[in-house]
Structure 1
Amino acid sequence: MKIHLFGASGAGSTTQGKDLAAKLHIPYFDSDDYFWAPSAVPFTERRPEEERNALLKAALEPYDSWIIGGSLVSWGDYWKTALDLAVFLYVPHPIRMERLKTREMDRYGEIIRTDPERQRLHEEFMEWAASYDTGNIRRSLAVHMAWMHELSCPVLTIKGDYSIEERREMIMERIREIVSQAD
């Protein structure tokens, strides 16, 4: 089973993906590890599309089943047919933004308040993340909704602030349906 979990930043695709991968005993991959090149300041240098795709495909190649968390919407047409199930996670804006504030502080600490450049980057990220629901950016609700209609696989949409366990059960139920239909 080749599964992709995606949504806005802070929707929980990484957390849910790691949980589901542990439950299914399959590897988890995060698109950020391929989208962003290693740099002194994390998440500031993008890899070219061809390079990130080649790296991710090479990492996935040894496995029959895997989970990718994060957005693949701008990664090219290959991903529209490479999946067995896509799971779109949508969390209400205020909850998502609070999660991101906490994550940013946990990830970077006080430097995002004390270093002017890091503060600028943090503020730009938070503005970008806040525009998901209403913006017309490369990774927005409108873009994700359109992309879902282009996928060849089933798409499960989970809207709301569910627990990891509740989401896992919804995803597992959809996986069971897909497997039973294939038999």
Structure 2
Amino acid sequence: MVHIHVMGASGSGTTSLGRALAEKLDIAHLDTDDFFWLPTDPPFTTPRDADERIRLLLEETRRPGGWILSGSALKWGRPLERLYDLIVFVRIEPELRMARIRAREATRYGHRIGPGGDMEVKSGEFLEWAASYDTAGPERRSLAAHEEWLETQTVPVLRLDSSRDIDNLLTEVLLHPAIAAGAVRRRR
């Protein structure tokens, strides 16, 4: 069984890489947003109770076969930390990351985030929050908070530039000794 946490800023490709890894390894893909937020319309407006989100996530991690967790669970995911075999930290230039986010938001929500749309204000707030990732302090999801947290981890950390082709990123993760050893154990 392999347990990989793929983390980084919003728009850095954590979900895309997480999904691709899960598909390649034929294991579950879990995304922190699915546990952190209650399903609402508009989405991402109501956080789930912290105890409930960790209960749900731990329940999913007990499934046989391993899993990939994408996203960020810094402040609320401590019970998961002992389960990781590898942490993959993806980064990308802020300008490219924000361009990805704007394109993703437009595709997902269209006119809802435009002038007068029911998500206009929330979308603007989200974009402002996401843009400050590289400069904000460690009190919130930021580069500083991620670096601080990574310093406390005892499992290997693989740092990747997510502007690279997804196939190259996949290869690099799959060839990492922590994962290659797990793949060998699974085949036996």
TM-score (norm 2): 0.90
Instruction: Give the AA of the match of 2:171.
Output: E
Over 3 Å counting, the alpha-carbon distance change for 1:106 and 1:26 in structure 2 is same
Partner of residue 167, structure 2: 165
Q: CA deviation at 1:159?
A: 2.7
More divergent stretch after superposition (2-11 vs 112-121): 112-121
Aligned-pair CA distance for 1:90: 0.2
1:154 to 145, 153, 156: 156
Shift of 1:74: 1.4
Instruction: Quote the sequence identity (%).
Output: 37
Do structure 1's residue 27 and structure 2's residue 39 form an aligned pair? no
Aligned length: 182
Question: Any conservation in 2 of the 1:80–1:150 contact (CA below 8 Å)?
Answer: no
Q: Does 1:89 align with 2:93?
A: no
- Which stretches of structure 1, 4 residues or longer, exceed 4 Å deviation after superposition? 175-178
Query: Counterpart in 2 of 1:67?
Result: 68
Is the 8 Å Cα contact of residues 12 and 162 (structure 2) preserved in structure 1?
no
Question: Are residues 160 and 32 of structure 1, via their aligned partners in 2, closer, same or farther at CA, if it must alter by over 3 Å?
Answer: closer
Aligned partner of 1:115 in structure 2 is 116
* Alpha-carbon separation, structure 1, partners of 2:15 and 2:179: 23
Separation (CA, whole Å) in 1 of partners of 2:82 and 2:111: 42
State the one-letter code of the partner of 1:129.
A
C-alpha distance in structure 1 between counterparts of 2:170 and 2:110, whole Å: 30
Give the structure 2 partner of residue 53 of structure 1: 54
When residues 177 and 16 of structure 1 are mapped into structure 2, their CA distance, relative to the original with a 3 A threshold, is: closer
After superposition, the C-alpha distances for 1:35-75 in whole angstroms (9 at most, x for unaligned) are: 00011210010012111000111112122410010001111
Corresponding residue number in structure 2 for 1:15: 16
- Contact preservation (8 Å) 1:80, 1:152: no
Q: Work out the CA distance in 2 between the residues paired with 1:80 and 1:17.
A: 17
Kindly indicate whether residue 3 of structure 2 is the aligned counterpart of residue 2 of structure 1.
yes
Q: Give the 3-state SS of the residue equivalent to 1:37 in structure 2.
A: coil
For 2:24, give the aligned amino acid. Answer: K
Unaligned stretches of 5+ residues in structure 1: none
Taking structure 1 as reference, are residues 170 and 147 closer, same or farther at Cα in structure 2, changes over 3 Å only?
same
- Give runs of aligned pairs for residues 168-183 of structure 1, distance below 5 A: 168-175=170-177, 179=181
Is it true that 1:145 corresponds to 2:161 in the alignment? no
Write the distance in 2 (CA, Å) between the matches of 1:22 and 1:116. 36
Q: What root-mean-square deviation, in Å, do the aligned CA atoms of Structure 1 and Structure 2 show?
A: 1.8
Contact 1:81 1:151 in 2 (8 A): no
* Residues 8-55 of structure 1: per-residue CA shift (max 9 Å, x gap): 000001011111111111110111000000112100100121110001
Q: What's 2:126 paired with?
A: 125
Task: In structure 2, list runs of 5 or more residues that go unmatched.
Answer: none
